[in-house]
């Protein structure tokens, strides 16, 4: 019984410390991210865009900001009731069921780890200095 109580108190302390450190974060305003457009199926140059994103802002907002600021980045989405925005095309290149192609969302974290978020562009919240990668590929 005492061991369970100790484990519970230890867990609560950990959660409190996590919440406390999140509240004491020095990031309160916009922060930089970069967006890389990478076509793994064609021999074309990768494009990299830099922007600032609102604190805890979603990727889709940053993408719209980039699209408004340059002619080199255009994208289309399809809004679905069940899943929200779905990325259809980037710079005129669209995924295709027949060719089994799509735009994969990846993110390279500050420590160099590349992750595949479990949400799409409408819900993904990049961390400061993340490199978000839109990769055209096959499934």
Reply yes or no on whether the pLDDT at 37 is more than 70.
Answer: yes
What is the rounded CA–CA span in Å between residue 18 and residue 14?
6
- Residue 107 near residue 101 (C-beta atoms within 8 A): no
C-alpha atoms less than 13 angstroms from C-alpha of 12 in its C-beta half-sphere:
6
In terms of pTM, does the model score above 0.75? yes
- Indicate if the alpha-carbon torsion angle 17, 127, 53, 83 is positive or negative: negative
pLDDT cut 70: percent of the chain above it: 81
Q: Which CATH class is domain 28-138?
A: mainly beta
Query: Residue ranges of the domains in the chain?
Result: 28-138
pLDDT of residue 17: 46
């Amino acid at each position: 019984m005492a061991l369970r109580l100790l484990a519970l108190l230890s867990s609560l302390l950990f959660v409190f410390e996590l919440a406390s450190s999140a509240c004491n974060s020095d990031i309160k305003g916009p922060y930089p991210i970069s967006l890389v457009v990478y076509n793994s199926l064609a021999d074309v140059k990768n494009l990299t865009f830099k922007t600032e994103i609102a604190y805890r802002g979603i990727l889709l907002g940053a993408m719209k900001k980039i699209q408004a600021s340059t002619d080199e980045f255009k994208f289309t989405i399809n809004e679905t009731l069940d899943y929200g925005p779905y990325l259809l095309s980037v710079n005129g290149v669209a995924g295709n069921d027949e060719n089994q192609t799509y735009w994969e969302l990846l993110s390279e974290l500050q420590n160099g780890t590349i992750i595949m978020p479990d949400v799409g562009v409408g819900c993904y919240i990049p961390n400061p200095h993340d490199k978000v990668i839109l990769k055209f590929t096959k499934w």
